[in-house]
Amino acid sequence: DQQVKQNSPSLSVQEGRISILNCDYTNSMFDYFLWYKKYPAEGPTFLISISSIKDKNEDGRFTVFLNKSAKHLSLHIVPSQPGDSAVYFCAASDYSYSGYALNFGKGTSLLVTP
Amino acid sequence: NAGVTQTPKFRVLKTGQSMTLLCAQDMNHEYMYWYRQDPGMGLRLIHYSVGEGTTAKGEVPDGYNVSRLKKQNFLLGLESAAPSQTSVYFCASSYGPAEAFFGQGTRLTVV
């Protein structure tokens, strides 16, 4: 049963605008959340993370927001650039689940158009 | 610093053949993982290890075995390959409650 859900398979945004990628989770034991970016034929690369004790974490153009009561997190990319076009995976971990292994969503394919 | 290296990058197997995928990390991480990625499925955990000499089953372990004889290496074995094991396999490592670093993947086709 999917514990991390990304309900939007794809998203298209114009260059310079904001990209918002959403993620929902069902397991209240998750205590660490991450976003990964993946290009074709490459492994996922870490983008940004947030601990369950925070509600926001910012790194340059990327901001992750966590709403624990709603079991929802989102990734904001401002401003979006064509190089941001990739598949974005939301992931969550909890030590009681397989030793910090990441539980992934199915991914959202982001296309940033010039 | 190579990070996480997977060998081989591509492989075609016939049904019933066996093979081993090798993962090596040079970051002295305790935790190592094997995932598979299938279209529309995201990444699913096959097996994991919390330290040298330990292994445990993940979400989709059937048909696979693993070994972690050395801290830096995590091997994934397919004893008798089946077409359902056609997938892209990713190895990852982490020190614990932080981001995992992934290899570049192994694309396996079983015919």
Q: Please write the tens of the pLDDT for every residue from B25-67.
A: 999 999 999 999 998 888 999 999 999 999 999 999 999 999 9
CB A43 within 8 A of CB B105: yes
Q: Is the pLDDT of residue A86 over 80?
A: yes
Strand B19-25 relative to strand B73-78: parallel, antiparallel, unpaired? Answer: antiparallel
Q: How confident is the model at residue A2 (pLDDT cuts 50, 70, 90)?
A: confident
Give the integer Cα–Cα distance in Å for A42 and B90.
Answer: 10
CB B106 within 8 A of CB B6: yes
Q: What is the pLDDT of residues A46-66, one digit of tens each?
A: 999 999 999 999 999 999 999
Average pLDDT, chain A: 94
Q: What is the mean pLDDT of residues A16-26?
A: 98
pLDDT at residue B98 in the model: 78
Closest residue in A to B59 (Cα–Cα): A98
DSSP 8-state class, residue A25: E
- Residue pairs between chains A and B whose CB atoms are closer than 8 Å: 64
Closest residue in A to B93 (Cα–Cα): A101
Q: Among A66-80, B7-21, B84-98, which stretch is predicted with the lowest mean pLDDT?
A: B84-98
**Using a CB-CB distance cutoff of 8 angstroms, which residues of chain B are in contact with residue A64?**
none
Chain B residues with a Cβ under 8 Å from any Cβ in chain A: 4, 31, 33, 35, 40-45, 48-50, 56, 58, 90, 92, 94, 96-105
Strand partners, A111: A12
CA B35 to chain centre: 6
pLDDT at residue B77 in the model: 98
